[in-house]
Homo-oligomer: A and B are copies of this chain.
Amino acid sequence: MRDLSRDVSFLSINTATLKTLTLRQAVETLSRHGIGAIAPWRDRLAECGVTEAARILTDRGMIVTGLCRGGMFTSGDASDDNRRAVDEAAAIGAQCLVLVVGGLAAGSRDIADARKLVRDGIAALLPHARAAGVKLAIEPLHPMYAADRACINTLAQANDLCDALGDGLGIAIDIYHTWWDPDLAAEIARAGKQTGRILAFHICDWLVPTRDLLLDRGMMGDGVIDIRRIRGWVEAAGYTGHCEVEIFSAENWWQRAPDEVMRICAERYRSCC
């Protein structure tokens, strides 16, 4: 298992953690803290345009651990937008395009049907992604988002989809969404049997109490997730990539100065992860 305590060379910051900053501001902030990897959301690219975004990232030599997000396969025809997301991921050299797959279709109570729509949607997007050289990363979301954000809620489901749909598809493991899963260790090991299936590793913490379903994620060390144990499983499964910090926190971290947030992110990454 890697020793993360010495530096921040495997730390990546998701732009959701720095909600108030433009892409350029985020990159400059990260650079001040010696952080060389980032994962932007598409709204941050849209603000400046993809070409300019690519330039901003390249100028600072940023590693792009992922682009958030494609997916939403259950809400009407998302295929054009998903192809654009693939193209944007290619343009900025993202290591993967993260898929938030979508919840129930509008007006539907049929979660099995939603899961079929997701499978079909990924299958339809994969040829374009392969041609563009962009890996698609299914992100299982916490079951509390099954209705409205993602009906893929366990690593087992994501592994099943990868087994079924083949090359070019992998998984983004976010500990916030998966820490509770009794099959987590086994399914991480299963993912590890396929080289390169684990495409991203997202970290933050689960607070007790959690005051909001969406916007109350915790900084690493402030909650109850045994981050180091899960990272151990992920690395034992062959993952050598970054730890990407993605914290949605309307009442706490989004209220603080970005430099303070980055300082604490780096500290906690080195001491708690």
Chain A residues at the B interface, C-beta cutoff of 8 Å: 103-104, 108-111, 115, 142-144, 146-148, 151, 153-154, 156-157, 179-182, 206, 208-211, 213, 223-226
Q: Would you call B111 and A143 a contact (CB within 8 A)?
A: no
Question: What would 16 more interface pairs be, CB under 8 Å, given A143-B143, A144-B210, A147-B223?
Answer: A104-B208, A108-B224, A109-B224, A109-B225, A143-B144, A143-B180, A147-B180, A147-B206, A147-B208, A147-B224, A151-B180, A153-B180, A156-B182, A209-B213, A210-B213, A213-B213
Count of this chain's copies in the oligomeric assembly: 2
Q: Would you call A111 and B144 a contact (CB within 8 A)?
A: no
Q: Would you call A115 and B209 a contact (CB within 8 A)?
A: no
Q: Would you call A182 and B209 a contact (CB within 8 A)?
A: no
C-alpha spacing A210/B103, complex, angstroms = 14
A43, chain B: closest CB distance, angstroms: 21
C-alpha spacing A6/B110, complex, angstroms = 26
Name the residue of chain B whose CB is nearest to the CB of A104: B224
A-B contact pairs, 30 of them (CB 8 A): A103-B208, A104-B224, A108-B224, A109-B224, A109-B225, A109-B226, A111-B179, A111-B226, A115-B182, A142-B143, A143-B143, A144-B144, A144-B210, A144-B213, A146-B179, A146-B180, A147-B180, A147-B208, A147-B223, A147-B224, A148-B208, A148-B209, A151-B180, A153-B180, A156-B182, A157-B182, A209-B213, A210-B213, A211-B213, A213-B213
Task: Name the B residues within 8 Å of A151 (CB-CB).
Answer: 180
Task: Name the B residues within 8 Å of A180 (CB-CB).
Answer: 111, 143, 146-147, 151, 153
Task: Name the B residues within 8 Å of A143 (CB-CB).
Answer: 142-144, 180-181
C-alpha spacing A10/B143, complex, angstroms = 29
Task: Name the B residues within 8 Å of A142 (CB-CB).
Answer: 143-144
C-alpha spacing A210/B146, complex, angstroms = 11
A208, chain B: closest CB distance, angstroms: 5
C-alpha spacing A210/B213, complex, angstroms = 8
